[in-house]
Amino acid sequence: MTEPLLEVEGIAIAFGGVQALAGVSLEVRAGEIFSLIGPNGAGKTTLFNVISGVLRPDAGDVRFLGRSIIGRAPHRIAQAGIARTYQIVRPFGRLSVVDNVAVGALIHARTVERARRDAREIVEFVGLAPYADRFASDLTLTQRKRLEVARALALRPKLLLLDEVMAGLTPSEMDGMADFVLGLSERGIAAVCGIEHVMRLVMRISHRIAVLDAGRLIAQGDPHAIQNDPAVIEAYLGTPTVAG
Amino acid sequence: MKTALRIAAVVAIAALVFAPLRLNGYLLNLLYTTVLYVALAYGWNIISGYAGYFSFGQIAFFGIGAYATGLLVADQHWFWMVAALAGGIVACALAVPLGYVMLRLRGPFFAMGMFGMAQMVRVLVTAIPATGSGAGLFLPPGSSLTGVYYWTLAICLGAIALTLWIDRSAFGLRLQALREDEQVAGTLGVDVTRAKITAFSLSALIPGLLGGGYALFLTYIEPDAAFSSRLDLQSIVMAILGGVGTVWGPLVGGIVMTQVSEALWARFPQIYLMLFGGLLVALLLALPRGIVPAIASRWRAR
Ligand SMILES: Nc1ncnc2c1ncn2[C@@H]1O[C@H](COP(=O)(O)OP(=O)(O)O)[C@@H](O)[C@H]1O
Ligand SMILES: [Mg+2]
């Protein structure tokens, strides 16, 4: 648990006049559950886009297993062991649920049959077995969220970037998702959870938490320290909307 | 059901193989054009159906194949099938750098970009003095319609076999994933650039190979024939009517369209085009995703 799996160093990126990230640095260790919290627009999704290679930052570096991955194509980052989900779910609508998952499984499987077999197991694991052969466009929002996770798992990642996977879930579903993330950690898979609200769960599952506000990290530490950080309380926890 | 279909396929292929022995010139001509259209539709279906990059310019590769064959036969005295094969390979190889540039465009921009590219290729090809600079190029007689027909039939069957393989392969799954969402496919480990360029060059190989046969069929090539937008459009309509991105769509669409077109032309020669256009619109309104997906979903619903 000592050597860092992911090192983010001074990442900055602007969209037109909006400085979405202004020098963000953090480290995630193997098997760790790291929560990235912050209000809507803080820059969580943008950071995930940078780490997964979808966006190229204006400045800064991202290292995975000691190697810089800035400028690498997204598929190479995925193959190296970083998987992500999308906050706004993006299923391959006209593919079956199994095929949605099989796409990611292809990086390990030599044949498409093998990939589909692996995919079926994962589909079962996330509880979508009854819908395995349906078109992904037939799924409900909650099911689509699970499909996002299933597709990411098919890559057998070392690091999973979960973008707002709690959003839109019922409280009991949220607890299920929290247990699921804890289970991943026990199997050695690190997770970075981008989460806007639901502080109760963040405090329960996270080994460490970073608080992002308007593109800057205003605090970083274990759940206890974060809860008592005056800057955090002021900027974030203090607002009544985050009680959930 | 499976065996019945298999037997039907064998019978159909046998009938196509023995057709030249029984058909008169007119009917063989008609059969050749049908097979040519269907094969073109299969070529288009890979990049535009499976990968979702709707192209209005695959005819560029047909023209390249036709002119390459023409030059090799007329100037270098190659045997025409070898020349046509070379034409296909040239088209396929050119598609790699062209695809690298063009496939950065998306949606309507790619479609229009390909249309423009086909025009550019046409101008470039016909600017070469050896091609007759647009005036045309005569080929020495050396092949019968039967030979061209068999060449085209072989490519058509090859294109169907290739599509069957793509539909069941990892490559095909990658194409369909990037068609649905390119960014997501990328973050799920798909090398989208490579998959797209491969699809594009396969979609160039098929018309490239067909072009050489067409050059021999015409015995005289000129830009309007080699870069025929009619051939391009009609084969695209066939694929759309049959069902884009399906294995059997181009075949079903091709058969339906040529049959209907012939029947209407024979009975109502004056208003044939109008009837045909109207029928096409009605069919597409009734079956917006094409014939094959409509049948498939009805089948599943039973
Ligand atoms: N592709 C983009 N183009 C323009 N602005 C963007 C883009 N992506 C994000 N932003 C802006 O960057 C800021 C951070 O957004 P985001 O990363 O989505 O925040 P979060 O995920 O924390 O809610 C917001 O102001 C958002 O409007
Ligand atoms: Mg977000």
Three-class SS of B168-227: HCHHHHHHHHHHHCHHHHHHCCCCHHHHHHHHHHHHHHHHHHHHHHHHHHHCEECHHHHC
Amino acid identity at A78: A
When CB atoms are compared, the residue of B168, B188, B191 closest to A151 is B188
The DSSP string of chain B is -HHHHHHHHHHHHHHHHHHHHH--HHHHHHHHHHHHHHHHHHHHIIIIIIS----S-THHHHHHHHHHHHHHHHTT---HHHHHHHHHHHHHHHHHHHHHHHTTS-HHHHHHHHHHHHHHHHHHHHHSGGGTTTS-EE--S---HHHHHHHHHHHHHHHHHHHHHHHHSHHHHHHHHHHH-HHHHHHTT--HHHHHHHHHHHHHHHHHHHHHHHHHHHSEE-HHHHT-HHHHHHHHHHHHHH-TT-SSHHHHHHHHHHHHHHHHHHH-TTTHHHHHHHHHHHHHHH-TT-HHHHHHHHHHH-
Helix runs in chain A, H state only: 44-51, 74-80, 97-105, 112-125, 141-153, 171-186, 199-205, 223-227, 230-232
Spell out which chain B residues touch chain A, with contact meaning CB-CB distance below 8 angstroms.
168-170, 172-174, 176-177, 180-181, 183-193
Task: Evaluate: CB of A49 within 6 angstroms of ligand 1.
Answer: no
What average pLDDT does this structure show over A62-74?
A: 96
Give, for all 302 residues of chain B, the pLDDT tens digit.
Answer: 678 888 999 999 999 988 888 888 888 999 999 999 999 999 999 999 999 999 999 999 999 999 999 999 988 889 999 999 999 999 999 999 999 999 999 999 999 999 999 999 999 988 887 777 777 888 887 678 899 999 999 999 999 999 999 999 999 999 999 999 999 999 999 999 999 999 999 999 999 999 999 999 998 899 889 999 888 999 999 999 999 999 999 999 999 988 888 888 888 888 888 888 888 888 888 888 899 998 888 887 76
Query: Which residues from A are below 8 Å from B170, CB to CB?
Result: 106, 109, 111-112, 115
A244 has pLDDT over 50:
no
**What distance in angstroms lies between residue A164's CA and the mean position of ligand 1's atoms?**
14
Q: A172-216 pLDDT, tens per residue?
A: 888 888 998 999 999 989 989 988 877 888 888 999 999 999 999
The first and second tokens of residue B150, run together, are 């068999």
- Tell which phi-psi region holds residue A56, choosing left (phi > 0), alpha (psi between -120 and 50) or beta: beta
Check CB contact under 8 Å for B177 and A84.
no
B291 HSE (CA, 13 A, CB side): 19
In this structure, the residue with its CA closest to atom 11 of ligand 1 is A20
Asked if the Cβ–Cβ distance from A107 to B183 is below 8 Å, we say: no
Question: What is the CA B174 to chain-centroid distance, rounded?
Answer: 22
Q: How far apart are the CA of B100 and the centre of ligand 1, in A? A: 30
Q: What is the ipTM of this complex?
A: 0.92
**8 A C-beta contact, residue B276 and residue B237:** no
Distance from CA of B231 to the nearest CA of A (A): 30
H/E stretch holding A12 reads strand A4-15
pLDDT per residue over A99-108, tens digit each?
A: 999 999 999 9
B252–chain A nearest CA distance, Å: 21
If you ran DSSP here, which 8-state letter would residue A121 be given?
A: H
Quick check: CB of A45 below 6 Å from ligand 1? yes
CB of A162 less than 8 A from some CB of B: no
Give per-residue pLDDT as tens, A3-39.
799 999 999 999 998 999 999 999 999 999 999 999 8
Q: Is the pTM of this model over 0.80?
A: yes
Q: Is A40 in the pocket of ligand 1 (CB under 6 A)?
A: yes
Q: What is the pLDDT of residue A2?
A: 60
Rounded mean pLDDT of chain A? 91
